[in-house]
Structure 1
Amino acid sequence: MSLWTYLYSAPIFGDGERSVMLAKTVIGLAVISYLSAVRALRWRRFNAIHRKYESKYLQGDLSPEEAQEIIHTLCLYEMPMFMNFTIPFALFKAYAIPTISKILCDTKELKSIEGRSKRNADTEILISTWLFCPISGKSQDSSFVESSDTNREEIDDPRAMIALSRVNWLHSKYPITNDDYLYVLGLLIFEPTIWGSYGWRALSPMESQAFYILWAEIGRRMGIRDIPESREAFRQWMEEYEYRAIAPAQENHDVATYSAEELLHAIPKRFGIKGFVERLAICTLEEDARIAMVYVPISLLIKPLHTLFETIFTQRILTTFLLCFPFASLIRLPSQPLYIHAIFKTILYTIGFIQRYLCLPRSQSNPGGVILVPLDKASASASTSTPSTPRTGPAPASTSAPNAKLDGSTRLQPGHLHRMHPNWFQARPWYMPEPTGILGKLKNQASLTFGLYDALPSARLRSEGYRLEEMGPVRYEKHGHEEVMRKAEEMYGCPITGPFSRN
């Protein structure tokens, strides 16, 4: 008798031995079928993107647009959680450079909860716009055409150019050195490879190269000079710069403290959970960066000693010397024991194992990014508001632009500007729309009660949505719009029209 005949004839319910065997067989077949489906589907996108571009990668011919498509597959579908960690932790590591930390301290924006929460929200949205909105200005929903094509407006997507122009305008207000620009750019290039090593698979050489190609293109559009010509040369430059630039400073400690408070804001303090997570977060730092983020006493001690013995010792040597003595107890970010590092890696590797062998990949309709990437959704589902922002009165009920087309030809009501909302929100929910229904209000109140958010959406938190050319510190929200749009159009190569225009 065949297995299927046996299963068909066996009683589904009952106390006999056949019922137990049937149940075990059905469960076993279901588990094997599910695991086989996971195995068959898990590598599908990886194989497809490598079949498409691996030959170009091997020939050294990947373009920024092609590199961006590779990054889309990785960051939006393959391992969005781990790739989402790369931006905040890359920027956190930059705070080991005193010249970077000092500029951030001087702005005094990180001292307030609202200042640093808005900075985090804006930074995530702006960088995500660079990475996921077409760097060519051509919508991914359309085929590539020549720039001289008379129907070019049908595929316009200027969001990346507007975001780049806004960041360039904001950065022009501060004395940032080219080396510091380069260093942060390098961190954003190499951090994905580090976090990818904890995921369900490591990044392939082609994916690592794609990050270099895209970020180098972004760097050029930001006016960064002397970008190394290869990923390997950039890695060498980074090591040399870290050796001469990383040093303990009070500003490092201050910025690291403010940033850590914001990153771990939603973690509860009960039962020592937050303190434990802080110790895990320290494990992400290289030893030099960790040492550079110290309390005041050791910073004040190193500075005069370095001045006295600068002909003999570097700040790094003095720091290492002092850490061998009781001064080590003053460090803000103490070295973690091996078992904490083991716990940290075990947690991440376990997540990666579960994703690889037990979880089906994301569906095409469920990308993991913070912004709406498809142009039709981004231009049709956002709210609108008057251009006189920030608002001082109650936020209006969100209105949509249901007639907005892919080419952005729809005109909103006179005096109104198209606005967007992110897909997820920080603990202080900037740009979260105010709910109009009772269920939405109850959901937000429950989130507030359980500590997922520490405030409700409001006009103060810009519940009407965001405009890329208005992002940045609150004091700059009303400034620079015309210049930002003009520079964006220069990068774009033609006038910006449709919902992303200010006309």
Structure 2
Amino acid sequence: MKRAYRNRDLIKALDPDDYLRIYQLTTLYDFPTDMRVGLNLAFYRIFAIPHMAELLVRSGEIIDRPKKRAYDTGLIMYEIIAHGFDHPRSREMIRLLNRVHKPWPISNDDYRFVLAALMVVPLRWLDRRGWRPLLPEERDASVRFYLDVARLMNISDPPTSYPQAERLFDDYEAEHLGSSDAGRALMASTQQIIVRHLPKPLKRFGPAITSGLFNQPDLTNVLDLPAPNPVLVRLIDTAYAVRNTATRLKAARTESWFVPGRPASSVYVHGYTLDQLGPEQAGRSTTL
């Protein structure tokens, strides 16, 4: 069983200042599927902030091209995670993020909330459904990774510790969480992405499954999702418990799941190049 904990033990042996490598081991090696789910859930939280949801609807990307937007968002982030901040591919992705966000009236507080969501929501998911407990070094690495993102995107006063990120995230949601036509439209459009791997007979249960993943009634209510069903939540927890037991019996990953340029679903059947990521004509467009 100790074979499963190889990467955890490697993290323990690393210098905390090697936070990029720690974040890579957590995200790309030990929790590849869970971190993808967690990062998606962090992004969906934006839909429950009315003024941010309205801005996303105005951009047209999520409504008109939900699958491409979803895959592009993930690929951009994983390019940065996999390569670190000094690699040419990462630098191009940071330039892309700055280009597509610059024309829009996004406040620094909104940026800080998104950063906090990316720091906190995936790790809360792992706390609930991950196959092993997180180390303090992994929480610190998540914060320090996104502090680098904040620096490169000129976001001021970001949270500098995990407890601070949690407070910022929770306080912002307590003040701004709300229902809106825009948020409901974004969630409805995104459902096709969430249920894409479900067997066809189960796809109609997509909204209920999404609610079970969130398991937060105030959030699902403003997104026009059904209230979390306790039975379904227990079934989801049971499925993850079985998965986690199997994971603990396997050897740890020694290679990253992410391969730059790889095929990605039906969006990039033959793989992708960096200039394909983001909105059309991202270099000249004002589209998010």
The TM-score normalised by the length of structure 2 is 0.91
1:472 is aligned to 278
Q: Does 1:172 align with 2:172?
A: no
Q: Secondary structure at the match of 2:247?
A: helix
Aligned length: 283
Q: Does 1:333 align with 2:225?
A: yes
Q: Secondary structure at the match of 1:110?
A: helix
1:190 is aligned to 120
Q: Secondary structure at the match of 1:360?
A: coil
2:207 is aligned to 278
2:84 is aligned to 134
Distance between the aligned counterparts of 1:91 and 1:478, measured in 2? Answer: 23
Higher RCO (CA 8 Å, separation ≥ 6 residues): 2
Q: 1:231-250, aligned counterparts within 5 Å?
A: 231-250=162-181
After superposition, the CA RMSD in angstroms is: 1.9
Q: Residue 208 and residue 277 in structure 1: after superposition, are their counterparts in 2 closer, same or farther (change >3 A)? A: same
The TM-score normalised by the length of structure 1 is 0.54
Of the two, which has the highest radius of gyration? 1
Q: Does 1:121 align with 2:71?
A: yes
Q: Residue 352 and residue 277 in structure 1: after superposition, are their counterparts in 2 closer, same or farther (change >3 A)? A: farther
- Once the two structures are superposed, what CA deviation does each residue of 1:438-471 show, in whole Å capped at 9, x if it has no partner? xxxxxxxxxxxxxxxxxxxxxxxxx6x3224x53
Q: Does 1:343 align with 2:235?
A: yes
- Once the two structures are superposed, what CA deviation does each residue of 1:7-26 show, in whole Å capped at 9, x if it has no partner? xxxxxxxxxxxxxxxxxxxx
Structure 1 residue 288 displacement after superposition: 2.5
Distance between the aligned counterparts of 1:208 and 1:264, measured in 2? Answer: 29
- Once the two structures are superposed, what CA deviation does each residue of 1:159-192 show, in whole Å capped at 9, x if it has no partner? 1111011110000122212222111111110122
Which of 152, 155, 175 is the matching residue for 1:221? Answer: 152
Distance between the aligned counterparts of 1:200 and 1:237, measured in 2? Answer: 27
Distance between the aligned counterparts of 2:161 and 2:31, measured in 1? Answer: 25
Distance between the aligned counterparts of 2:106 and 2:154, measured in 1? Answer: 12
- Once the two structures are superposed, what CA deviation does each residue of 1:414-457 show, in whole Å capped at 9, x if it has no partner? xxxxxxx22x413xx22322xxxxxxxxxxxxxxxxxxxxxxxx
2:256 is aligned to 367
Which of 267, 287, 291 is the matching residue for 2:217? Answer: 287
Distance between the aligned counterparts of 1:250 and 1:261, measured in 2? Answer: 18
- Once the two structures are superposed, what CA deviation does each residue of 1:213-262 show, in whole Å capped at 9, x if it has no partner? 11111112111112123221222122221111111111110111111222
Q: Residue 121 and residue 253 in structure 1: after superposition, are their counterparts in 2 closer, same or farther (change >3 A)? A: same
Distance between the aligned counterparts of 1:173 and 1:263, measured in 2? Answer: 29
1:432 is aligned to 269
Which of 80, 91, 94 is the matching residue for 2:46? Answer: 94
Q: Does 1:209 align with 2:16?
A: no
Matching residue's letter, 1:164? I
Q: 1:278-317, aligned counterparts within 5 Å?
A: 278-285=207-214, 286-293=216-223
User: Is contact 1:68–1:132 with CA below 8 Å preserved after alignment?
Assistant: no
Q: Report percent identity of matched pairs.
A: 21
User: Is contact 1:96–1:247 with CA below 8 Å preserved after alignment?
Assistant: yes
Q: 1:34-73, aligned counterparts within 5 Å?
A: 39-53=1-15, 57=16, 62=17, 66-73=18-25
Q: Secondary structure at the match of 2:28?
A: helix
Distance between the aligned counterparts of 1:347 and 1:168, measured in 2? Answer: 39
- Once the two structures are superposed, what CA deviation does each residue of 1:318-350 show, in whole Å capped at 9, x if it has no partner? xxxxxxxxxxxxxx3121232111111111121
Structure 1 residue 477 displacement after superposition: 4.5
Distance between the aligned counterparts of 1:290 and 1:478, measured in 2? Answer: 36
Structure 2: segments with no counterpart, 5+ residues: none
